[in-house]
Amino acid sequence: MDQRKMAVELLDFLERSPSPCHAVANMAQLLEENGFQRLGEMERWELHPGGGYYVVRNDSALICFRIPEGAWKGFHIVASHSDSPTFKIKENPEMESDGYVKLNVERYGGMLCAPWLDRPLSVAGRVAVREKGAVRTRLVCVDRDLLLIPNLAVHMNRQANEGISYNAQKDMLPLLGTAEAKGSFWKVVAEAAGVEEEAILGHDLFLYNRQKGCIWGAGEEFLSCGRLDDLQCGFASLKGFLAGPKERWAAVACVLDNEEVGSSSRQGASSTFLRDVLWRINCGLGGDEEDYLCRIAGSFLISADNAHAVHPNYGEKADPVNRPKLNGGIVIKFSANQRYCTDAYSAAVMKELCREAEVPYQVFTNRSDMLGGSTLGNISVSQVPVATVDIGLPQLAMHSPYETAGVRDTGYLIRALERFFV
């Protein structure tokens, strides 16, 4: 596999995916191009051996699956998430002061605030519109430099370089224009969505960083872009999934939303979305509840969410022994407190998979005196109790609007998942 080519494809996918809804739409398009059939959750499903299908819930989560040809034993699943920390546009967002119009926003997830300042931003997401007497949703991306959150000059805050604490209601409001811009925000959004301004009844709009992704470093060994956590894993999951049908297992890839805010929405990992789809596959192929429980007991889930690489300037923040490196391969994550689901068995299965796929793996654990983050694996398992390994790709600056990863690692995960799914 040409790992650089995969990195270039990844950057293209990330740039076309400024919001979770866009990521899901791009994945759906790739599935359509590969002959997958879209199923609606409101319809009865007719599934056929050898068939490939996908379901989208609420525009921002997607589950695709392939039905095995013959007798089958259970599910091989990979899960990632479609959302990244950002700022959400609030209702009635325009605020006027001192001849400016700025936008009222609120935090979505736990972002690094500082890197959002002094760079061109715009908005993307979806709007809900009145259309022929019904309410429909439309994706929208304002594809131009529209907003910016200006820093306060150092002359007005002499302590700026000693550390700033950011107040989301004061420090993080993006500037839209001068006083003449009043009333223009919804016009801009309506135009980008191709609808009448009056037709917009609701919105899930988020800020996104306009800076394009790039490959850099002395040997072009790094790449940087927004939303690597977790669309790098989402992209690799889908690529691996598309590699081919399983003989005795139903192959499933899911990209769930709202991981950054606890996963407890109807399209998040703590919802019944994955369980509903697995149950419908089981029943659609003539299985009963007993069959379902047998299949679940034999199934395996790879929860793929990015991991922290050791930082070049903060080596002391990493575990003294387990120190993931960029381009060092898939990171298997461990936590005694089960913030990660990995256990002896699932780690061993993952290591064997990497060995067979001839890709390197490494290990992440938090320092024993640091809490660290969590992910979707242990939440998803509460709905679908299958053997699970938590993995990710190593990255720096997690939750910045411009994150950094290794050029080779996406290809490693694709190759391992091809092995898992073939």
Least distance between Zn ion and beta carbon 85 (Å): 9
Stretch in the footprint of Zn ion (CB under 5 A) among 130-138, 173-181, 263-271, 305-313: 305-313
Q: Cβ closer to Zn ion: 258 or 365?
A: 258
Q: Cβ closer to Zn ion: 230 or 319?
A: 230
In the chain, what's the furthest Cα-to-Cα distance?
A: 72
Q: Does 204 bind Zn ion (CB under 5 A)?
A: no
Q: Cβ closer to Zn ion: 137 or 395?
A: 395
Stretch in the footprint of Zn ion (CB under 5 A) among 62-70, 93-101, 300-308, 411-419: 300-308
- The alpha carbons of the chain give a radius of gyration, in whole angstroms, of 22
Least distance between Zn ion and beta carbon 399 (Å): 8
Q: Cβ closer to Zn ion: 86 or 137?
A: 86
Least distance between Zn ion and beta carbon 373 (Å): 8
Q: Cβ closer to Zn ion: 307 or 357?
A: 307
**3-state secondary structure string across the chain:** CCHHHHHHHHHHHHHCCCCHHHHHHHHHHHHHHCCCEEECCCCCCCCCCCCEEEEEECCCEEEEEECCCCCCCEEEEEEEECCCCEEEEEEEEEEEECCEEEEEEEEECCCCCHHHECCCEEEEEEEEEEECCEEEEEEEECCCCCEEECCCCHHHCCCHHHCCCCCCCCCCCCEEEEHHHCCCHHHHHHHHHCCCHHHEEEEEEEEEECCCCEEECCCCCEEEECCHHHHHHHHHHHHHHCCCCCCCEEEEEEEECCHHHCCCCCCCCCCCHHHHHHHHHHHHCCCCHHHHHHHHHCCEEEEECCEECCCCCCHHHCCCCCCCCCCCCEEEECCCCCCCCCCHHHHHHHHHHHHHHCCCEEEECCCCCCCCCCCCHHHHHCCCCCEEEEEECEEECCCCCCEEEECCHHHHHHHHHHHHHC
Least distance between Zn ion and beta carbon 230 (Å): 4
Q: Cβ closer to Zn ion: 296 or 331?
A: 331
Q: Cβ closer to Zn ion: 229 or 257?
A: 229
Within 13 Å of residue 8, how many CA atoms lie on the same side as its CB?
Answer: 6
Q: Does 257 bind Zn ion (CB under 5 A)?
A: no
Least distance between Zn ion and beta carbon 308 (Å): 11
Q: Which residue has the tokens 């609120």?
A: 106
Q: Cα separation of 267 and 276, whole Å? A: 11
Least distance between Zn ion and beta carbon 390 (Å): 11
Least distance between Zn ion and beta carbon 270 (Å): 15
Stretch in the footprint of Zn ion (CB under 5 A) among 3-11, 46-54, 56-64, 304-312: 304-312
Q: Cβ closer to Zn ion: 80 or 271?
A: 80
Least distance between Zn ion and beta carbon 310 (Å): 18
Q: Cβ closer to Zn ion: 230 or 418?
A: 230
Q: What φ, ψ does residue 28 adopt, rounded to 5°?
A: -60, -40
Q: Cβ closer to Zn ion: 230 or 409?
A: 230
Q: Site for Zn ion (CB under 5 A): how many residues? A: 3
Q: Does 305 bind Zn ion (CB under 5 A)?
A: yes
Query: Which residue's C-beta sits nearest to Zn ion?
Result: 230
Please name the amino acid found at residue 68. Answer: P
Least distance between Zn ion and beta carbon 260 (Å): 7
Length of the chain equals: 422
Q: Cβ closer to Zn ion: 147 or 417?
A: 417
Instruction: Considering only residues 206 through 235, tell me which ones interact with Zn ion, judged by CB under 5 A.
Output: 229-230
Least distance between Zn ion and beta carbon 2 (Å): 26
Instruction: Considering only residues 30 through 59, tell me which ones interact with Zn ion, judged by CB under 5 A.
Output: none
Least distance between Zn ion and beta carbon 24 (Å): 16
> 140, 228 in Cβ contact below 8 A?
no
One symbol per residue from 280 to 299: x for binding Zn ion (CB under 5 A), - otherwise; what is it? --------------------
Residues that bind Zn ion (CB under 5 A): 229-230, 305
